[in-house]
Chain A
Amino acid sequence: MSAIALRHVWKTYQGQVVLENLSLSIDSGEFCTLVGASGCGKSTFLRMLLGAEPPTRGQILIDGRALPEEPDAQRGIVFQRYSVFPHLTALENVALGLEFTSSPLLARMFGRRRRAAFKRAALMLESVGLAAARDKYPAQLSGGMQQRLAIAQSLMMRPKVLLLDEPFGALDPGIRTDMQALVKALWREQRFTVFMVTHDISEAFALGTRLLAFDKVRWDPQAPHAYGARITYDIPLDREARHARAVLERQMAASESRAAKLAVAAEA
């Protein structure tokens, strides 16, 4: 539902370059998967899109306008952990967004409006397969159920952009497959723009319509922080993708081993 453009975006932390010179434009309704070695700035990229961190240089546009500098209801997020509120039941978690929007002072609804809102929330819970867990607290739910809940909670706000930061990273393989199918189905239905960080390349290829690979292009062994990551592959996913995938897997392996070597060297 929303197009995003990056113009020469840099991110540095105290002289350490994390991302350098990203320019990119993403169409509305695209499902972007982001891959790359650990610590190469994928999550930082996501946090910038969220507005939780400003870019050091450059500009991010959403539908042609500057991105708001703090998180808002346009952009939903699901983290790997801590995505739902532990003190609310599943149903209350999903209804919370509605209560925020319609009751500025108390952030609570009462009477008929409350019943209507909670009915909507219950329908949403049902659509992610959590109807039976509506009155349970997150701590009583399994990891997969918690992530379903987090997705339902975000989608309740009908966000234009959904950001997923390794949402299934901590889940068992079987549940992971279910969750991928769920996200894909919800995306087909609502067509929000998705950015999903993942460590799993097959997941990235299976889910996305576009794959962005992050890696450092320049490398100075004397000053490992002098250069940041760029988008090294920007692959529209179709049949040619299979070939690209093989190349990318080789590149990722090389990059991981280089990082490992450097870590060993740094310790020595």
Chain B
Amino acid sequence: MKRLINLRPERAARLALSALPFAFVIGLYLVSSELRLAANPNDKLLPALPQLYAAIDRLAFTANVRSGQYDFWFDTLASLRRLVFGVGISALLGLCLGVASGVIPYVRAGASPVVTAISMVPPMAVLPILFIVFGLGEIAKVVLVVFGVAPVIVRDMQLRAMEIPQELTIKAQTLGASSWQYILRVVLPQVMPRLITCIRLSLGPAWLFVIAAEAIAATEGLGYRIFLVRRYLAMDVILPYVVWITLLALVMDHALRWLQKRMYPWAESEHEARPAP
């Protein structure tokens, strides 16, 4: 018998093991729901599958009588738009400012302390300010996401740009590179994989800020809906929405990882074992 640390599960066993916790949670839910509904058929806390299905059908596949919209998809689109704009602007800002201050000491001297200070401000504390300044529309929500996410990306990009070995910086200069050419051909390609990782890690906080902003002031969006139906204890709506948000986040995470592997194959092989000479 090998030691435990040397035993690795086969593919089938690995899949089964990863499915196990999910199956357990779903099973636990179904049993608890059954028990509660047996005691009180009007219980709203743990709705059974047919009730969940009915709620999904009502929101996703039936037009809202008053507005004529399909609420579920309308909410999804609204939230995704806020998220994508927020994260996109943050990424662009992070890339430009982060690389500039990582590479150019004069920019770093000016930008680094203020970015550090801004990153310490709790974004939720400035949310009222954003609503006052930008009104209750889309801008305030996108700005909240940028405020929460961008400083981290800027700082990470700056660090990554500064981590480029000095040997490479000198080497580029001996090949005749100007500062701009160095940024374009050496720094940018090397920080791009890290930027994608950064975006992946920022998705969690970004969702948090979108939902929070929607909970406080919005007329549509996944977070808006959840907080709206909370008043009626409508768990049959809240639960599918939470699962949906999780699914969306997972899909984005996987898509970004795929993109990273696809576009920057060298970043992968850098960490792999080197072939024998």
Which residues of A are at the interface with B, using a C-beta cutoff of 8 A? 50, 52, 70-73, 75-77, 79, 81-88, 96-97, 99-101, 104-108, 137-140, 142-145, 150, 153-154, 156-157, 159, 172, 175
Count A-B pairs with CB separation below 8 Å.
Answer: 97
CB-CB under 8 A for A104 and B277, given A82-B167, A137-B269: no
A105 to B183 CA separation, bound complex (whole angstroms): 11
B163-185 residues at the A interface, CB under 8 angstroms: 165, 167-168, 170-178, 180-181, 184-185
Task: Find out whether the CB atom of B184 lies under 8 angstroms from the CB atom of A82.
Answer: no
A245 to B53, CA, bound (A): 88
Chain B residue at minimum C-beta to C-beta distance from A52: B170
How many residues of B are counted as interface, with CB atoms below 8 angstroms from the partner's CB atoms? 30
B265 within 8 A of A: yes
B3 contacts A by Cβ under 8 Å: no
Residues of chain B lying within 8 A (CB to CB) of residue A87: 189-190, 264, 266-267
Interface pair B174/A76, CB less than 8 Å apart = yes
Q: Is B275 an interface residue (CB 8 A)?
A: yes
**Within the assembled complex, what's the spacing in Å between the Cα atoms of A144 and B274?**
13
Of the candidates B168, B174, B184, B274, which one forms a contact with A159 in the assembled complex, judged by CB atoms under 8 Å apart?
B174
Give 18 pairs: A residue, B residue, CB < 8 Å, sorted on A. A72-B173, A81-B165, A84-B171, A85-B168, A86-B190, A86-B270, A87-B189, A88-B266, A97-B176, A100-B175, A100-B176, A100-B178, A100-B181, A107-B184, A137-B265, A142-B276, A150-B171, A153-B175
Q: Among the listed A73, A76, A83, A142, which residue makes an inter-chain contact with B277, where contact means beta carbons less than 8 Å apart?
A: A142
For residue B139, CB closer than 8 A to chain A, the reply is no
With A142-B276, A144-B277 already in contact, the answer to whether A107 and B177 are too (CB < 8 A) is yes
Minimum-distance CB pairs A-B, first 5: A142-B277, A97-B175, A71-B173, A82-B167, A73-B176
Picked from A77, A145, A156, A175, the residue with its CB within 8 Å of the CB of B171 is A77
Q: How far is it, in angstroms, between the C-alpha of A71 and the C-alpha of B179 when the chains are bound? A: 12
Q: Tell whether, in the assembled complex, residue A142 and residue B275 are in contact, meaning their CB atoms are under 8 Å apart.
A: yes
Q: Beta-carbon contacts of B105-127 to A below 8 Å, as 1s and 0s?
A: 00000000000000000000000
Interface check B203, CB cutoff 8 A:
no
- Given A87-B264, A100-B175, is A50 in contact with B170 using a C-beta cutoff of 8 Å? yes
Chain A residue with the shortest CB-CB distance to B175: A97
Q: Is the CB of A172 within 8 A of B277?
A: yes
Q: Is B10 an interface residue (CB 8 A)?
A: no
Q: Which residue of A70, A107, A175 has the most chain B CB atoms within 10 A of its CB atom?
A: A107
Chain A CB within 8 A of B186 CB: yes
